[in-house]
DNA sequence: GTTTATTGACAGTAATACTATTAAAATCGT
DNA sequence: ACGATTTTAATAGTATTACTGTCAATAAAC
């Protein structure tokens, strides 16, 4: 798989941005550099002022693209899930059903390769952000209204696809969609724990994590 | 089990507070009312100023107990996990090993009963906070230093206990501690999803959640 | 009854998260 | 090449947040 974004651009809910960042040079720089900065300093310390300084532009220019940093975060995670959905469909398309689960888990646990996207954006850093910051995007008092606006469809669709695969493998299993979301969240948390709170896990390496989660799904659904 | 906190007080790392909130009336009111307020408005909108207003005291008085709201959150979650550890040990103490897993999952998925604690504090609301806000306590750039200070031992210990049980049931299973933390996090996330993002789960009721997670553990470890 | 701890009242600061206005620069259609 | 339009830069300003510091009033402890 290579740089498909030259032809395919992920579909992101226009409500999350005020002005399409991919419609201008500044917009693209905002995306690329915000990923670098949020990964570097964390969402809490990240401000539009700092980003403006680094991009040698002004706060007000940034506010033309995103109402606030929360919406920018939603944008970044939506983008991630759109890429992941494409990757999942692309990779599992021609696989026999019994191989799809392992392939899916592998996709969830392995960072997007840098070739998948044009130049400036670091997908490894984007994954770091999804792991460490994306729960903050929906664990808020605005979940319900933002969910209604469709801010989380990317994640929901991806999780739904994995749920669908699980359902096909065993149509009698009662909790395919719960199991799917558990596996996705866990892939992120276990990676974070391995790096920062190692007492909470024994799956320290990517290969172990993939084995752990694949096994978890397969055994659970028989 | 009844109001054991009359005799047992959870042991909380003194580094998280500047002044022990249980050493004064104001301190206790801070704990009780911050739980109500954080549950009500969410961590983002919760400020010491608002809390001071509601308690008819001043910001500076609150700052004498907690350096900032992040430390207050750490305190509340530590407290929760200390209670849960006690509950887990108490409840599973005399059970045969094959029943301990189901009992543990039940404990994780069922809110602490109000009788467990003296008067003013709502344990249901404390659980809401643990579900919706506690990831924000460790998904920060300060994890490593705060972990070193022991801010997360409560959660780590609890998760470790469940891991130990899993290990006893099947000593050959490779990922008992990963499985334990997955189940605990999932119990919280699935509850949140059921309420706010129902597409992400099929285990909508507490009883289903308990069944889903018990089954997940049992099947995974054979 | 005096020391000591605790709280309340008040003032103040730096940073954050914005909004608004206007001018300059780039781009775009014809 | 021209004016029209869009985009950005520069600047200013506001409300709120997240604190810190000082000092007096009060309550508790010895």
Q: pLDDT, tens digit, for every residue of B36-94?
A: 999 999 999 999 999 999 999 999 999 999 999 999 999 999 999 999 999 999 999 99
Parent domain of B216? 4-220
Give the pLDDT mean for B98-107: 96
Give the pLDDT mean for B19-23: 91
Task: Identify the CATH number of the domain in which residue A210 sits.
Answer: 1.10.357.10
Per-residue pLDDT of chain A (222 residues; tens, 9 = 90+): 444 444 456 788 999 999 999 888 889 999 999 999 999 999 999 999 999 999 999 999 999 999 999 999 999 999 999 999 999 999 999 999 989 999 999 999 998 776 566 556 788 999 999 999 999 999 999 999 999 999 999 999 999 999 999 999 999 999 999 999 999 999 999 999 999 999 999 988 999 999 999 999 999 998
pLDDT reported for residue A98: 86
Mutate to test the interface with B, among A137, A152, A199, A210 (most CBs of B within 10 A): A199
Q: Which residues touch strand D (CB under 7 A)?
A: A 19, 23-27, 56-61, 64; B 45, 47-49, 58-60, 63, 67-70
pLDDT reported for residue B3: 47
Q: Does B190 contact chain A (CB < 8 Å)?
A: yes
Q: Which of B135, B144, B160 sits opposite A199 (nearest CB)?
A: B160
- Cα separation, A16 vs A33, whole angstroms: 18
Q: Which residue of A has its CA nearest to B155?
A: A200
Q: How many CA atoms lie within 13 A of A59 on its CB side?
A: 7
pLDDT for B211 beyond 70: yes
What SS3 string covers chain A?
CCCHHHCCCCCCCHHHCCCCHHHCHHHHHHHHHHHHHHHHHHHHHCCHHHHHHHHCCCHHHHHCCCCCHHHHHHHHHHHHHHHHHHHHHHHHCCCCHHHHHHHHHHHHHCCCCHHHCCCCCCHHHHHHHHHHHHHHHHCCCCHHHHHHCCCCHHHHHHHHHHHHHHHHHCCCCCCHHHHHHHHHHHHHHHHHHHHHCHHHCCCCCHHHHHHHHHHHHHHHCC
* Cβ contact B44–A199 (<8 Å): no
- Using a CB-CB distance cutoff of 8 angstroms, which residues of chain B are in contact with residue A139? 132-133, 135-136, 192
pLDDT reported for residue A9: 67
Work out the mean pLDDT of chain B and round it to a whole number: 92
pLDDT reported for residue A6: 47
Among all protein residues, pick the one whose CA is nearest to the C1' atom of C16.
A47
pLDDT over 90 for what percent of chain B?
Answer: 84
pLDDT reported for residue A112: 79
Q: Name the band, by pLDDT with cuts 50, 70 and 90, for residue B98.
A: confident
pLDDT for B195 beyond 90: yes
CA distances from A157 to A73, A93, A153, B103 (A): 18, 16, 6, 34
Mutate to test the interface with A, among B125, B154, B182, B183 (most CBs of A within 10 A): B182
- Cα separation, B38 vs B70, whole angstroms: 12
Give the pLDDT mean for B23-28: 90
pLDDT reported for residue A113: 75
Q: How many separate domains does chain B show?
A: 1
- Cα separation, A20 vs A12, whole angstroms: 10
Residues 45-74 of B with CB under 8 A from A: 45
Lowest mean pLDDT among A1-5, B117-121, B193-197: A1-5
Contact A15, A104 (CB under 8 A): no
């Amino acid at each position: 798989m290579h740089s498909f974004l030259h032809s395919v651009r992920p579909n992101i809910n226009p409500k999350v941005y005020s002005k399409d960042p991919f419609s201008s040079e500044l917009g693209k720089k905002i995306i690329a550099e915000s990923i670098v900065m949020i990964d570097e300093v964390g969402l809490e310390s990240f401000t539009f002022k700092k980003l403006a300084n680094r991009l040698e532009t002004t706060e007000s220019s940034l506010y033309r693209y995103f109402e606030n940093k929360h919406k920018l975060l939603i944008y970044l995670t939506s983008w991630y899930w759109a890429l992941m959905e494409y990757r999942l469909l692309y990779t599992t398309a021609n696989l026999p059903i019994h191989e799809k689960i392992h392939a899916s888990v592998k996709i969830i646990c392995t960072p997007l390769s840098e070739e998948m996207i044009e130049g400036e954006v670091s997908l490894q850093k984007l994954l770091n952000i999804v792991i460490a910051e994306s729960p903050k995007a929906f664990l808020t008092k605005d979940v319900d209204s933002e969910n209604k606006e469709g801010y989380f469809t990317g994640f929901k669709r991806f999780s739904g696809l994995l749920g669908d695969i699980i359902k096909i493998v065993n149509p009698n299993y009662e909790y395919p969609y719960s199991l799917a979301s558990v596996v996705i969240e866990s892939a992120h948390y276990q990676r974070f724990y391995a790096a920062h709170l190692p007492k909470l896990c024994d799956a320290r390496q990517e290969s172990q994590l993939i084995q752990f989660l694949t096994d978890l799904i397969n055994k659970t659904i028989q």
